[in-house]
A and B are shown apart, each in its own frame.
Chain A
Amino acid sequence: MTREEFLDALRKRLNRLPSEELESALDYYNEIFLDAGEENEQETAEKLGSIDNIARQIYNENGIDPDGRPAYMVESYDPAGDPGSEDPEFAESVYERMKRKRQERRAGVDVQEPELGPSVLDRVKQGEFSTARLVLVICLFPIWLPLLIVAFVLSFVFSILGMVLEVVFISVGVVSLISGVVYLFSIPPVGIMSLGIGLILVGLFILTMKAVFKGCFKMFAGMASATAGLFRTIIYGGAANG
């Protein structure tokens, strides 16, 4: 290998080096060749060793990865400490869980309301509830009381879940947005992903916020009035007949 060939190959291999560093290295090796004598070029090239090794040393000395991997792949990379890496799964599972819960909740409300809704109160007002019916209601309390409690507990749990999901959406969303902006400059792909996840979560929060809060309120109001109506039926109904 001649001096020219050696320097060309080295320049190519060092293409990611800042130009000042590159010229300094090429000057140095050029000078080594010239000082060793024009007639010894082949021998000098052999003595210098492999160009790849030379380039690796120089890259390492300059804090650049010799294989051109981006910094975030080279630095000891801890996925657990990286908010962006866990997010896609998390967001997906939260979203899916939310969808399922919402469907369940909707189904639950639909089932409960015809049975326990204001119709009981209405029917009492209209005098529809006879003493026989009332006796039946009281006698059957081992059946309907557990049902009532279960309905209450279920609606309570779903409401809490709904609220928690909303809080999770907005907080994880905001955190993802912030970390997205931070990572955008250090690790661009992670930053962009994090921004995207943040936007999706905040969007989900805005879309579902009204429905969830309204749903919870309605369900509690419905349950409360239904229960109140039931007890009123029992008390007033009993007094009227006694």
Chain B
Amino acid sequence: MGFPISSGLLDAMVLAIVSRSDTYGYEITQFLRSAVDVSESTLYPVMRRLQKSGLLETYDREFQGRNRRYYRITSVGSAALGEYKREWTDHKRKVDSILLGEGAEQ
């Protein structure tokens, strides 16, 4: 079955991918596919939202005679990613403590 991915988590994963190196839409989806089941259609509104809220910015670079739109993380985006990572670590620890019985305080 798999667990549904919240839009916050999707935002965080996209920010993480872009923060490693500037990349483009198709590649981002391929990366995400290795972890979660998302389509390009799901991703488009995410990319647009991150771009509009200033977490990502875009630039065009020529590739095989056409333009390819690259995404780059902004300083605001980096700060948001840091916050997401901190929250995720916290969340993961809590879920693990219940689901796997790991690190449960006695």
Closest to B66 in A: A34
Interface segment out of the listed A54-62, A102-110, A177-185: A54-62
- Let me know if B44 and A25 touch, CB within 8 A: yes
A31/B48 in contact, CB under 8 A? no
A79 at the interface (CB under 8 A from B): no
A25 to B40, CA, bound (A): 11
Q: Does B106 contact A (CB under 8 A)?
A: no
Size of the chain A interface, CB-CB below 8 angstroms: 19
Q: Quick check: is A72 within 8 A (CB to CB) of the other chain? A: no
Evaluate contact between A32 and B25: CB separation under 8 angstroms: yes
Q: Give 1 or 0 for each of A16-29: 1 = CB within 8 Å of chain B CB.
A: 00000100110111
- B63 smallest CB distance to A (angstroms): 9
Question: Which residues of chain A come closer than 8 Å to B41, judged between CB atoms?
Answer: 48-49, 53-54, 57
Interface residues on B, range: 10 to 19
- Report yes or no: A47 in contact with B40, Cβ–Cβ below 8 A: yes
Known interface pairs A31-B68, A48-B41, A49-B41; A61-B26 also in contact (CB < 8 Å): no
Give the complex CA separation of A74 and B29 in angstroms: 33
Which of B24, B40, B48 touches A48 (beta carbons < 8 Å)? Answer: B40
The yes or no answer to A39 lying at the interface (CB within 8 A) is: no
* A36 contacts the other chain (CB 8 A): yes
Q: Is A89 an interface residue (CB 8 A)?
A: no
B8 at the interface (CB under 8 A from A): no
Closest 5 CB pairs of A and B: A35-B26, A61-B45, A32-B40, A54-B41, A48-B41
